[in-house]
Structure 1
Amino acid sequence: MIALLAAGVGMATPALARDYGQQGAVWPVVEPDLLAQIHARLARLEKTGETARLNEELKRRTIARVNRPEPVAGLGAATAGRSWRFDPTITVDRDIADDKGRVIIAAGTRVNPLDTVPLRAPLVFLDGDDPAQLAWAARRFGATRAKLILVRGAPLELMKARQRRFYFDQGGSLVKHFGIRAVPATVEQQGRVLLVTEQAIEPRERPSS
């Protein structure tokens, strides 16, 4: 039976390869090669100096963005004091194991990062273009290890002028995380929670014009 089946398959195979001939009109491919077009375009840009100009423009924009990052949108100067507590506790959604597969934190466990990594210095959020906020921060935190974090301004310029490190809240991720809507604002640890404060600067604290 197997031999007959094999013979039948062998006899049927040539029928699958029948040549039906040309069934319609055929035209040659006339579309230009995409890679060739790109290469030609780049060659023209290089020849005319456009590539160098574009590279220089990109360099200029990159330097400008580093020196003065995009301001964090939606923040204003604090006109009234506002404070609240922020609990950083999270609930682990899956088992966390060590390199040997042993579960060290089970799913559902509540973990407070401050228990293992305390906030050793206040976070101070500032508008770097506001002299009053900079003066306030210098008076209050000048002799401390507070991290000065700009939401607007030129951090490198301020570092050079004031000989102190300034950070920048790129994209506003930190102020969004803490719910900050106005500056200056501070984040400080109080036990197992963080105290967030928006601090209105009193008129007497502002430098005279």
Structure 2
Amino acid sequence: MRCFEHPSQKRLLRFISPIACLISFMVTDLVTAEEAWLTRSQQLLNTLQGQAKPAWLENNPHQLEARQQVLELFNTSKPLTDLKFGTEQSPMGKNGQPLKMLFISFSLGETTLKGIFEEASGRDDVLLVFRGPKPSQKLPALMGDLKRLLKGIDPVPNIVIDPTRFQRWSVASVPDIVVEQDRKSRLHVRGVSSLSWLDEQIKAGKQGDLGTLGDVGEIAEIDLLEEIKRRMAAIDWKQKQQQAIARFWAQQKFEDLPTAQADRDRSVDLTITAPRDLSAPNGQRIIRAGQTVNPLDKMPFGLCLMVFDATVPAQVELIQHHSCQDKKARVLYLASSMPRQDGWDSLKRLETTLQAPVYLLTPDVRIRFQLQHVPAIVEQVGKHLVVHERKVRASQGAPS
């Protein structure tokens, strides 16, 4: 979980010194749990309905599937040489050098394709471009077909699967040649696949759109980008949001604590021993190695933690009516458990009852404050923190 600066914490954060670091170390996990839970719960409760997909839904399985498709596209859009098809040389086209792109498809026939591969072999200024796999064909199967046609050709020509180039140059049929220089079309011709013919035209100074000079055919492969867009558009995001909400509570691991069987007060000593010298930004030593420090000597705790099991109404009632000794302390409600079936609705009702945000108890906070039973109240008494464990009576009312 991530935390952000809360206005009430500015008093703590303004001390830029090792002492502040020690205090921060004590409360970091608490603030982290608090702010992350606030972000998640309030965003869901207040903005989910009718709004765009929130960022935390990025980890839903359909979004992951889409990302995998994009990653698959990215990987296969690299030259096949990068995929261990042959040498590691890359096509030209940089630093003002022209790049001769030949747009091709399996619709040209394997014999024609093999001839193109052989002619492009060893030419770093030529890039052979496919748009994607054939309908219903997986990318690994396409790779297998290419490997079969490339067998015996050494070095392997530069081949990419890149639908973006098809879109950029409006390629709607094959073969199609675009000579690109400085990201602009220097020469464009359709119906020709001969690289030797192309070289002659460039040598003769031909430029511009030469039109269609031979037979062209349809592109047998799908536009991989359009396919990804289609799949994304077909996703019912509202349903996925609801499923994600349900999964959160089903998968949430709670810090379950046993119910207190008796009233008990325990003192928590926050005194620590510095493992090394701690210095201020100006180099002045503040704490020497081995020195014992109690953070509460430098700064008050300023919080009153109410820890309870939100699935037990009697604990909620006790916490609701309990008051802290320090009336200026900021009250923080931490639930060790929440109902799984209607978690978000229960959270909303609970926050309405307590008239304050409620956060989940985290393992680090439980350990840091030595929490053993619930309900429990953690607050500062003198130079120590005291954990008040309270037994829930059969008929719980406001404690005296």
TM-score by length of 2: 0.37
Q: How does 1:123-202 map to 2 (within 5 A)?
A: 123-141=305-323, 145-153=330-338, 154-159=346-351, 161-162=352-353, 164-202=355-393
Counterparts in 2 of 1:195 and 1:47: CA distance versus 1, 3 Å: same
Asked if the contact 2:308–2:374 (Cα under 8 Å) also holds between the matched residues in 1, the reply is yes
Q: What is the RMSD computed on CA atoms of the aligned residues?
A: 3.9
**1:151-170, Cα deviation, whole Å (9 max, x unpaired):** 223544422x2362233135
**1:43-78, Cα deviation, whole Å (9 max, x unpaired):** 53431347744796268526974x999352332322
Q: Per chain length, whose mean CA-contact separation is higher, i.e. which structure has more relative contact order (CA < 8 Å, sep 6+)?
A: 1
Is residue 2:275 matched to residue 1:83?
no
- Distance in 2 between the 1:76 and 1:91 partners? 32
- Distance in 2 between the 1:80 and 1:148 partners? 21
Asked if the contact 2:255–2:361 (Cα under 8 Å) also holds between the matched residues in 1, the reply is no
Query: SS of the residue aligned with 2:336?
Result: strand
Q: Where does residue 107 of structure 1 map in the other structure?
A: 289
**1:8-27, Cα deviation, whole Å (9 max, x unpaired):** xxxxxxxxxxxxxxxxx976
Asked if the contact 2:277–2:285 (Cα under 8 Å) also holds between the matched residues in 1, the reply is yes
Letter in 1 for 2:350: L
Q: How does 1:48-59 map to 2 (within 5 A)?
A: 48-49=231-232, 52-53=235-236, 57=240
Query: SS of the residue aligned with 1:203?
Result: coil
Counterparts in 2 of 1:171 and 1:147: CA distance versus 1, 3 Å: closer
Offset of residue 191 of structure 1: 1.5
Is residue 2:258 matched to residue 1:73?
no
- Distance in 2 between the 1:41 and 1:200 partners? 63
Counterparts in 2 of 1:104 and 1:41: CA distance versus 1, 3 Å: farther
Counterparts in 2 of 1:129 and 1:99: CA distance versus 1, 3 Å: same
Asked if the contact 1:180–1:198 (Cα under 8 Å) also holds between the matched residues in 2, the reply is no
Letter in 1 for 2:382: G
Query: SS of the residue aligned with 1:183?
Result: coil
**1:135-177, Cα deviation, whole Å (9 max, x unpaired):** 1112223995532222223544422x23622331353321222
Letter in 2 for 1:106: R
Query: SS of the residue aligned with 1:44?
Result: helix
Counterparts in 2 of 1:137 and 1:48: CA distance versus 1, 3 Å: same
- Percent identity over the alignment is 23
Is residue 2:399 matched to residue 1:204?
no
Counterparts in 2 of 1:199 and 1:48: CA distance versus 1, 3 Å: same
Letter in 1 for 2:292: R
- Distance in 2 between the 1:164 and 1:93 partners? 42
Q: Where does residue 34 of structure 2 map in the other structure?
A: none
Offset of residue 103 of structure 1: 1.1
Asked if the contact 1:45–1:51 (Cα under 8 Å) also holds between the matched residues in 2, the reply is no
Counterparts in 2 of 1:84 and 1:135: CA distance versus 1, 3 Å: same
What stretches of structure 1 of length at least 5 have no aligned partner? 1-24
Alignment length, in residue pairs?
A: 177
Asked if the contact 1:69–1:152 (Cα under 8 Å) also holds between the matched residues in 2, the reply is no
Offset of residue 89 of structure 1: 0.9
Letter in 2 for 1:149: L
- Distance in 1 between the 2:363 and 2:271 partners? 21
Asked if the contact 1:151–1:172 (Cα under 8 Å) also holds between the matched residues in 2, the reply is no
